[in-house]
Amino acid sequence: MTQIPLKEIMPNGEFLESGHLACPGCGASLSMRMVLKAMGEKTIVALPACCWSIIAGPYPQSSLKLPLYHSAFETGASVASGIKAALLARGDTETTVLAWAGDGGTFDIGLQALSGAAERNEDFLYVCYDNEAYMNTGIQRSSATPLGAWTTTTPGSHPEGRPKKDILAILAAHRIPYAASATVAYPEDLLAKVRKAKSIRGTRFLHLLAPCPPGWKTGDDETIELARMAVRARIFPLVEIENGETWRITVDSPGDPVGPYLAKQGRFKHLGREDAAAIQAGVDARWKALQRRVAGS
């Protein structure tokens, strides 16, 4: 892959102020910054409860230069539906509504509202930044927490016992026009997907892996590296799905072993060699299933 300096591909617009309240190395704040650069100023943000409820800043401050509605935990997709309907009622077809939610608000408590909105094909972009647990409340497991991970509610003696929910397949099953996964470690791919999503009408869904140094027990300078390792190890493949049918891998995952990715993170430090092998087996099986989907579409 040719190396391209970031500044050459990154749009100039800046909609995230410095002085926001994210932790050092936060994948969620980087994600927001990049996504908004591709979205532009004609964007309204619907923000259910998540880390970003804090990052956006307390009243009367806001770290975003865009209109922002803080809403209840399970209402990202439903509030966004209402905002869009109101814009259309007043003849505004230009402004894009961006629902921005964490994994808890998407995989768990907000899934019903999201499913309803996706089924209706509501015209908005829904972004789930996934840090794989309830990080804002102090690292409790969600249904996005990966197999084997420590959280405060899955302590080291009884770590997470189930693989994470396949949210992208769930959204694809709604046959929405566009669903994709992306991460800040691959900004070119991320920006291309946001631009593509922005150009499409109907429900668009982006699943972003957003490493969380305090929750993953990693260094605050390892966020990009970890996200890249997750992609390379096929733990978080970068794909896009059109109309629920056409699956495409957008960045190759060479299949690095999962061991080094797990070893870098304190949340996996209790795992033995057998545990890592079981995780590797799950990753391999899901990769095969993905290959079948890609081949079959």
Partner 1 sequence: MKKVIVGNHAVSWGVSLARAEVIAAYPITPQTQIVEELAEMCDDGRLAARFIKVESEHSAMAACIGAAATGVRTFTATSSQGLLLMHELLHWAGLGRLPIVMADINRAVAPGWNIWTDQNDTLAQRDTGWVQLYCENNQEVLDTTVQAFALAEKLSLPVMIVLDAFFLSHTSEPVDIPEPADVDAFLSRRDAALKLDTSDPHAFGALTTPAVYMEMRKRQQEAFDRVLETYQLIDADWDRRFGRSWSAIESYRTEDADTVLVTSGTITSTARYVINERRERGEKVGLLKIKMFRPFPTAALRRALAGIPKLAVLDRNISPGHGGIFAEELRSALYDLPADRRPRIDGYVLGLGGRDVTPDVIGECLDATRGNDGASSSREDIWVGVKP
User: Which of the residues 97 through 156 are near partner 1 (CB under 8 A)?
Assistant: 112-113, 115-117, 119-120
Separation between Cα atoms, residue 292 and residue 297, nearest integer Å: 9
Q: Contact between 78 and partner 1 (CB under 8 A)?
A: yes
Q: Which is nearer to partner 1, 78 or 223 (CB)?
A: 78
Q: Give the residues across from 129 on adjacent strands.
A: 102, 208
Q: How far is the CB of 111 from partner 1 (least distance, A)?
A: 11
| Among candidate residues 68, 86, 38, the one with its CA nearest the CA of residue 208 | 38
For residue 134, the SS3 value is strand
202 contacts 176 by C-beta, under 8 angstroms: yes
Q: How far is the CB of 46 from partner 1 (least distance, A)?
A: 6
Separation between Cα atoms, residue 153 and residue 151, nearest integer Å: 5
Q: Contact between 36 and partner 1 (CB under 8 A)?
A: no
Q: How far is the CB of 7 from partner 1 (least distance, A)?
A: 26
The token pair that represents 144 in the structure block: 């996005």
Q: How many residues at the interface with partner 1, by CB under 8 A?
A: 47
Q: Which is nearer to partner 1, 1 or 89 (CB)?
A: 89
Q: Contact between 95 and partner 1 (CB under 8 A)?
A: yes
Q: Contact between 83 and partner 1 (CB under 8 A)?
A: yes
**Residue 199: exposed, middle, or buried by beta-carbon count in 10 A (0-12, 13-18, 19+)?**
exposed
Residues near partner 1 (CB under 8 A) are 41-44, 46, 53-54, 56-62, 64-72, 74-75, 77-90, 95, 112-113, 115-117, 119-120
